[in-house]
Structure 1
Amino acid sequence: MSLHPRHVRTKLGELDCHVVDALPEGAKPELVVVLSHGYGASGTDLMGLAPELWAAAPRLAEGVRFVFTQAPLTLAHLGMPQAHAWFLLPDSVLAGEQRDWDQFARDVPPGMPAARRALMSTVAALQHPYGRIVLGGFSQGAMLSTDVALRLEEAPAGLCLLSGTLIAVEEWKTKARARSSLPVFMGHGRDDTMLPFHGAERLRDVLTGAGLPVELLPFDGGHAIVTEEIERMAAFLEKRLDER
């Protein structure tokens, strides 16, 4: 199949976004996949996933539009003018101190409510049925996507969490009970030193405990996205296409 990808940079709701698809001219997407980058990256960081997902599952090119969001906070004050964040990290973490992961799982990060509102505004601006939108992202973007997926008025079509982790555990436990039909794909490196693997296991357990169907792919590696993860994510998205 000959692909003719299009890339448009635009503002959707409060966020700058990169919109990528290979749909036939004038065709509407069957599924919109909204992916949010991690701390210190930018809106283009995950764009390379689109062609890799098309290659893994060619049907995605015929029915999926990707929206790559850019976080609103700049890290210019840290000497990284091109870097962005959904919420800022504590000075202790920036200094390399080890987190208290139990406390981290309980806390709602300062800045999360504003980030949540921004991503929700982008989802609303798509003017697409919630049941035909998949949310997801990497690291901090995965945390935000989980939070939003559990709070939308209706459940999205799916949730793809690449190197995410558990936060806001009491809020998420409560809200997940109303999302028991929401399918979730998770991928996480066993050797991740940024967000340790046990955080992904705890998140899976919270979601499955609320009745959500969760597929967790552990892989040998760190805080990264690997080929097997992309292939499994492509299969997950193809299933969402079939659920019309």
Structure 2
Amino acid sequence: MQIEKSTFQFLKDLQKNNNRDWFTDHKPIYTEAQQNAKAVFAAVHHNLEMHDEIEKSKMMRIYRDVRFSKDKTPYKAHFANSYSRLGKELRGGYFLRIRPGESFLAGGFWEPNKEDLFRIRKEIEMDATEIKDILKEKNYIKHFGGKFESFGELKTAPRGFDKNHPDVDLLRKKGFIATKNFTDKEVLSSNFVDLVDDSFKALRPFFDLFSDILTTNLNGEQI
């Protein structure tokens, strides 16, 4: 299973013609492209189930909600899918987006709830050694560059935390995400689904540690 060139071409054409008249005229082509992307996302899901527990998989709608956006184009010129890990036991999730020139995957904790974020920060405050060891892990560096993305950070330490803490850069984060970009050539390759799965597998130490943190107290006792 792979992304077809025709699917990629539809997304390229949509980027140039992001209006309702064009989309309506090309609805049959959209339907074919959507089904192709859906099949690829399903194959990714199947592979994930071989090494993780996925509670929910969701393909994002192509229709944009423009009510509160400066960008008034009616459609997203990409296909994307999220995969949520098993609820309270595991937390976190995976994400994959297919967009010409801007395809990427991500995994981790995008917008953790207030309680989860506080628990992670308390772990960092007490001892961030294990978390920083994840960033130094060889396979993590290979796939994700040895860093966490946050997509939002505080300007200083959170309230109640020392602004001079040695790991204040981690304390300031509002989320903990690993991301990897793909070239168009990689997305269109016959082994793209395997490339995605290799990267998702590289997240295992990250997820294992954070799942443990979020299901225990600071003494390591199950909660």
User: Do they superpose with TM above 0.5?
Assistant: no
Instruction: Kindly name which structure, 1 or 2, has the bigger radius of gyration based on alpha carbons.
Output: 2
TM-score (norm: length of structure 2): 0.28
- The structure richer in strand per residue is 1
Q: Per residue, is there more helix in 1 or in 2? A: 2
TM-score by length of 1: 0.26
